[in-house]
Structure 1
């Protein structure tokens, strides 16, 4: 049996979202979160283009079936984490992250249509995600592009696959017939863990990775030469996150999920990453709290969510379902209390009704303790940090999230301190 804090259990009773403003109202574009309209205050065009307030990116959570798990293990899969190089100018240095990176012009190139036409896709409006145009879209997926470029749904999946190959050597691509079947599965809403391309010898992986790292257009060249197809239909859109406003480097990131039938070999690039680990969600959290790895809030939240999904088929079915519901932007908004730092997410009573997306120099400070704050905030969607290492924390979510999104499990790091993961 797993310790109590690891056991799969129904989530806490959910209540309706109620928002409470703690900052000055700002003027901006309205959008709806659940049943409540809020305002996003975007930077001016000059801020967004000239100052490049943030960059658009894609990240891929790679799940793989693990048949070597102990018989009494709750989870039948593991997730890929890559440890970033520790550098002085990298705020995420040393962190364990999911593969990913910034979108490149090559990912949007219409030259990819020469590859996709072999799969029977004759126009840019025929990839299978056109029905999402009537759903809420956010982040890079909603950004306007020139009509002759690839659709965002395609380009950001290509970006996630390319970056995953560059950083880990894992190539989410397959033969013509296999990818055609993946397309049919998406259309028929029948899903099963997929495969990845495993026929490249290590020296060829290194050779192609070196070329692609220097010129992202080489990813298309590689696919043509190997006669393989990026399996964008095996990637499911599960999140969109805009880096908090106080960070010097900000990214508007689409998070995708791909479930594999078995663990592929990993060849670390040793340029951006130092090592890899395959961990189930409970192991990831446990190692973070013990100080063996360093997770940032996006990874903490994902691990806490997947605690409620013991089987890889559960993971994939959820990802496929929630993708069809659309997505809204998720911008964490933090503030200091007298005894902690609170990072709120949409739906928390202390999440501001009027949210500016523009960068700020520091988080606001409220003259109250955590205890006092919780007396006036009943609807919670937040992480509370009690030290700068982010090892001592609480994660609370007692609201119903919109668009069938599954909430993260409530977590108190003290409950995990002495627990042992099976």
Structure 2
């Protein structure tokens, strides 16, 4: 899937995790309800994030700023994961040689540009700026929220012109905290969608819950809750999730502690990411969405631009499959099943098992 001519719009989202001592799970996640004009349905709830902006996120001016700031070249190199099995959205565009960064008109590494997208969008939507000053360039695993007195004015400037995010960082004398974003997953809309999205999700961790400033044209409400609390609200009809959000919450629902989740996310991020682009099968009375590793998943899902018919019920479709990785989706995601090892050393969605995952 070539992003240059793709019908998929490239985006990034941030799963922000904050410590919370007074709950069964000792951490909360930040999610936001989309404003009514931007939501697909009422109460659509998502992680902060949005579309990659070429001018704002891919400009070589970022790399020049990193160099001026004193960011070691090696610290940028280690964000780039060179593997043969990278999805197109994260595929290497060369040898990974750092010198190429400054000989092109834009940044070629999506590991850098999509992190910039996620951080910029997080500031645009909820006013959280994750950055590091010159005396904090130890590039730790925990993100550092920054305070700014004129946050509302800067949020408006960045919202109206995304390239202002670089000017904000220059004024505050910080660099975006790319290194505290841990590669988590990647999702793409089914190919039958005329204008879909391909999104990389990053996980970031903060020690204390940062204050928020909601951008009213995009955000209706912000919520800090545990994964299980989000899933219960979804089941009760109070929140509505697209499959990627539901699936990621189901993965996280079984992890009990902030410390174990931080360790897992940090270590797993080097194992790469498999693009989850669902294939749709029409069974009698239900639509089944099939994911990588399932017996009915096809090698090039980006070229499957129609719903595949199956002459039988969902149960009959399941009976013909040994390896399962699928769900049904109508008003809600239901019957999420995976009986294979999750790709890339990842977590098994909690909805397939009542056992707490051991980390």
Partner of 1:120: 70
The answer (yes or no) to whether the contact 1:61–1:255 under 8 Å persists in 2 is: yes
Is 1:157 the counterpart of 2:157 in the alignment? no
In 1, Cα distance between the equivalents of 2:345 and 2:300? 23
Structure 1: which 5+ runs fail to align? 1-41, 186-190, 416-422
The answer (yes or no) to whether the contact 1:223–1:230 under 8 Å persists in 2 is: yes
Q: Alpha carbons of 1:107 and 1:359: their partners in 2 closer, same or farther (altered >3 Å)?
A: farther
In 2, Cα distance between the equivalents of 1:55 and 1:168? 22
1:139 to 77, 82, 88: 88
In 2, Cα distance between the equivalents of 1:209 and 1:300? 29
1:181 to 133, 138, 141: 138
Partner of 1:17: none
Partner of 2:312: 368
In 1, Cα distance between the equivalents of 2:339 and 2:289? 15
Shift of 1:113: 2.6
Moved more, 307-316 or 55-64: 307-316
- Where 1:314 maps in the other structure, the secondary structure is helix
Is 1:200 the counterpart of 2:145 in the alignment? no
Partner of 1:308: 254
Q: Alpha carbons of 1:359 and 1:136: their partners in 2 closer, same or farther (altered >3 Å)?
A: closer
For the pair shown, the structure with the greater C-alpha radius of gyration is 1
Partner of 2:357: none
In 1, Cα distance between the equivalents of 2:36 and 2:307? 25
In 2, Cα distance between the equivalents of 1:339 and 1:63? 38
Shift of 1:281: 0.8
In 1, Cα distance between the equivalents of 2:79 and 2:174? 24
The answer (yes or no) to whether the contact 1:135–1:326 under 8 Å persists in 2 is: no
Partner of 1:357: 302
Deviations 1:309-346 (A, max 9, x none): 11112112111111111222221112121122211110
Partner of 2:209: 263
- Where 1:223 maps in the other structure, the secondary structure is helix
Shift of 1:119: 4.8
Shift of 1:250: 0.9
Shift of 1:49: 4.9
Is 1:78 the counterpart of 2:47 in the alignment? no
Partner of 2:51: 102
Is 1:111 the counterpart of 2:61 in the alignment? yes
Shift of 1:397: 1.0
Q: Alpha carbons of 1:363 and 1:90: their partners in 2 closer, same or farther (altered >3 Å)?
A: farther
Q: TM-score, normalised by structure 1?
A: 0.76
Q: Alpha carbons of 1:398 and 1:343: their partners in 2 closer, same or farther (altered >3 Å)?
A: same
RMSD over equivalenced CA pairs, Å = 2.4
Shift of 1:92: 5.9
Q: Alpha carbons of 1:247 and 1:374: their partners in 2 closer, same or farther (altered >3 Å)?
A: same
What pairs with 1:7-406 in structure 2 (closer than 5 Å)?
42=1, 49=4, 52-67=6-21, 69-70=22-23, 73=24, 75-87=25-37, 91=40, 94-105=43-54, 106-121=56-71, 123=73, 126-129=75-78, 132-134=81-83, 136-142=85-91, 144=93, 148=104, 149-150=106-107, 151-178=109-136, 180-182=137-139, 185=140, 191=141, 193-197=142-146, 199-201=147-149, 204-352=150-298, 354-358=299-303, 360=305, 362-385=306-329, 388-390=330-332, 393-406=334-347
In 2, Cα distance between the equivalents of 1:383 and 1:126? 39
- Where 2:247 maps in the other structure, the secondary structure is helix
In 1, Cα distance between the equivalents of 2:279 and 2:173? 45
In 2, Cα distance between the equivalents of 1:93 and 1:172? 30
The answer (yes or no) to whether the contact 1:60–1:257 under 8 Å persists in 2 is: yes
Deviations 1:38-84 (A, max 9, x none): xxxx5xx7xx656x4111111111111113x24xx1x0001011111
Larger RCO of the pair (alpha carbons < 8 Å, separation 6+) = 1
In 2, Cα distance between the equivalents of 1:287 and 1:222? 36
Shift of 1:228: 1.5
Q: Alpha carbons of 1:411 and 1:130: their partners in 2 closer, same or farther (altered >3 Å)?
A: closer
In 2, Cα distance between the equivalents of 1:394 and 1:255? 23
